[in-house]
Amino acid sequence: MKQFTSAEMEERAEAILLRMTLEEKAAQMVQVPVAYVTREEALLWARRGAGSFLHVLGDDAREIQQEALQTRLGIPVLFGIDAIHGHGLNQKATIFPSQLAAACSWDPSLVEEMGRVTAREVAADGLHWTFSPVLCLGRDTRWGRVNETFGEDPYLAGELGYAIVRGYQGDDPADGEHILACAKHYIGYGEAVGGRDSCDTEMTYRKLREVFLPPFARAVEAGVATVMTAYGSIDGTPFTASEKSLRTILKEELGFDGFVVTDWDNVRSLVEKQHVATDLDEASLLAARAGNDMMMTTTAFYESAIRLVKNGKLDERVLDEAVRNILRVKIRFGLFERAEQRGEQEKLGCAEHLASALRLARESVTLLKNDGVLPLGNSVRRVAVIGPNADDIRAQYGDWTYFTHPHPKPKYTAARPYVTLLEGILTLAKERDVDVSYARGCGVMHEECDDLDAAVNAAKNADVILLAIGDVVQQAGEYRDRADLSLSGRQEELFLRLRELGKPIVTVFISTKPLCICRVAEESAALIVAFNGGMFGGQAVAEAVFGALNPAGKLPISFPRHSGQIPVYYNNLPGWHGEKYVDLPETPLFAFGEGMGYSRFAYSDLQADAENLHVSVSMTNLGIRAGSETVQVYLRDLVSSVLTPVKRLVAFQKIALQPGETRRIAFELTRKDFSIVLPDEQTVVEPGDFLVFVGGSSKDEDLISTKISLRE
């Protein structure tokens, strides 16, 4: 298919725009939620010229598209879907680890592959557009949507966000195997006060630019086609109505040339939730002027926009700009030449794609503690698998699958293939002639049936106990923020009953996000974090338990010791009097970047060249097994004109070493890595001294450091 130059796209978009009526322009700015309208209403919207439809599949999508193509201008419809970690709303599709679990891999190439596979499967289903990636930061783990993020750090989120956008869109998004990406939620959505989803955001423009903008800037550099606005606000102005954030920063400064779509019914929220507009007409005026090009699900915008233009309150040129942006994306995507994606249905869940999900699951397994019990040796002949999440595929998948969206389906039957932890252990144990007993023990939720005695009996004769705990999908996602991050139900009681047996306990944490698991972590012989590992999360963990896999995952997010300790992200600002609580350590239970394997790595001879901004370090594998280590580089600005973090990630590399091997690892930094944002929002590099840290996690004890001095 022909690739259009920028000039050709502009010329073609302009030619279509000149022929459009006011009504057709207003319709093009509307996205229709098919689940909330009748078939007749959907077809009516197609005839009006609606720009996009949401959550429509198969023959329904084809019918709507054909209706749109038969209109006067024949502008094709964009079909969007929430393919968040794989095309998970389709039972036949490959379900990957969640974004948070995938971020444990610290591997952009695998995350890009996740995007590429997802794109193929979404395209095979006849759809064009995914509302992914989430580039919010998970800095307050009470927030219900932490599992959708790449963690707490702007740099890591930006690198992984760049990778998955490239995977979704490829070099040519019109090739029939790729789809449009959507960077969301712009901006600072995860910073809602108290972790309260879509609530007020304590934000300044300086903080926006320094902390929350970098991942979106990287997505724009990757060529992301669309950006979704957030529900929150900045200094009292909802982001949906913020002309400065949308027009000035995103479109003008970053050079974003795709289109902006609101989040779910954001325009109506200006009236009914945020109370900054008296009615839909005023809300539509605010949203359009601010720079929103497409209004998700607020179909009443159509009538409002027409009224506003006709009564002189809204310049029609605002609609022209929005529609031009939408048309440009449709032209670039090749939608006019190929309105229907003609992907191959047999690619859904094919062997190649399943192998990709397994690779990412393996690289995401994160070992945080090991007293020597792992990997299980030949002396272990009996293993007890216990816990509510040991054989629960819903918990292993997490949010945004066919179980949970677009409406919860509590009685849905899980579609194979998948491997739970119990199934993975049973398979590998059989190969090793190891006996396995199993008992659920208790549920995650309080109202579930528990049988702790059965769990204790199942574990009595075991050499090692594997205990799978965490949360379930009812405790995560939109509308599901948590004030108390303690283990729910009787999970901790189950742990204490098992501990009384005097057996080594390997705890496997299967959860949407970090919870407060201090006692369990401290008293377990080993702790593995799996988060939501997707189809083969159970297999990957089982391989790590038996030593077929040497874990290499690193945390993209910190674990709090207590809900009252939040936020506890690593790149905090200095100045805390006493730097500790009177009743709790100041450090997280586990810190950003932490993770170990069955090899041990040592760092030495750190060198930093201030003139060329070249950093190098020697790393040695001191273990007896080959292993991989993610080498992390952090900076601290020793004196600056504004508060700067105690350290911040600026580079990383994942390195594989053979036993006894030493390698010199080099990093090329840029002056931008040393920059700060001033109160006037200008980004500058101030000369002075910096500390460069290199090591295996963000913890001081895991890093070596040297000083580097920057001149004018």
State yes or no: cis peptide before 585, omega within 30 of 0. Answer: no
Q: Give CA–CA dist 466/274, Å, rounded.
A: 47
Q: Give CA–CA dist 591/369, Å, rounded.
A: 13
pLDDT of 132 > 80? The answer is yes
| Torsional sign, CA 59, 65, 71, 74 | negative
| Torsional sign, CA 323, 324, 325, 328 | positive
CATH, domain range 382-565 = 3.40.50.1700
pLDDT of 446 > 80? The answer is no
Q: Which residues pair with 507 in a beta bridge?
A: 467, 527
Per-residue tokens: 516? 């407060």
Q: Give CA–CA dist 17/569, Å, rounded.
A: 48
- Tens of pLDDT, residue by residue over 638-692, are 999 999 999 999 999 999 999 999 999 999 999 999 999 999 999 999 999 999 9
Are 210 and 191 within 8 A, CB to CB? Answer: no
pLDDT category of residue 1 using cuts at 50, 70 and 90: low
Which one-letter DSSP state was computed for residue 560? P
Residue whose C-alpha is closest to residue 103's, from 155, 149, 139, 154: 149
516 vs 35 pLDDT, higher one? 516
Burial level of 117, CB count in 10 A (0-12/13-18/19+)?
buried
Q: Are strands 601-609 and 614-621 parallel, antiparallel or unpaired?
A: antiparallel
Q: Give CA–CA dist 71/44, Å, rounded.
A: 11
Give the DSSP H or E segment for 605. strand 601-609
pLDDT category of residue 2 using cuts at 50, 70 and 90: low
Q: Give CA–CA dist 70/282, Å, rounded.
A: 33
Say what the pLDDT of residue 11 is. 93
pLDDT of 578 > 90? The answer is no
Q: Fold for domain 601-710? A: Immunoglobulin-like (2.60.40)
pLDDT category of residue 9 using cuts at 50, 70 and 90: confident
Mean residue pLDDT of the chain comes to: 95
Among 185-194, 334-343, 459-468, which is the least confidently predicted range? 334-343
Say what the pLDDT of residue 201 is. 85
Say what the pLDDT of residue 192 is. 86
Residues in the chain: 712
Say what the pLDDT of residue 447 is. 67
256-266 mean pLDDT: 96
- Tens of pLDDT, residue by residue over 154-173, are 999 999 999 999 999 999 88
Domain residue extents for the chain? 382-565, 601-710
Give the DSSP H or E segment for 62. helix 58-69
| Torsional sign, CA 151, 154, 159, 161 | positive
47-76 mean pLDDT: 93
19-39 mean pLDDT: 96
pLDDT of 312 > 80? The answer is yes
- Tens of pLDDT, residue by residue over 383-426, are 999 999 999 999 999 999 988 887 777 777 899 999 999 999 99
pLDDT of 256 > 70? The answer is yes
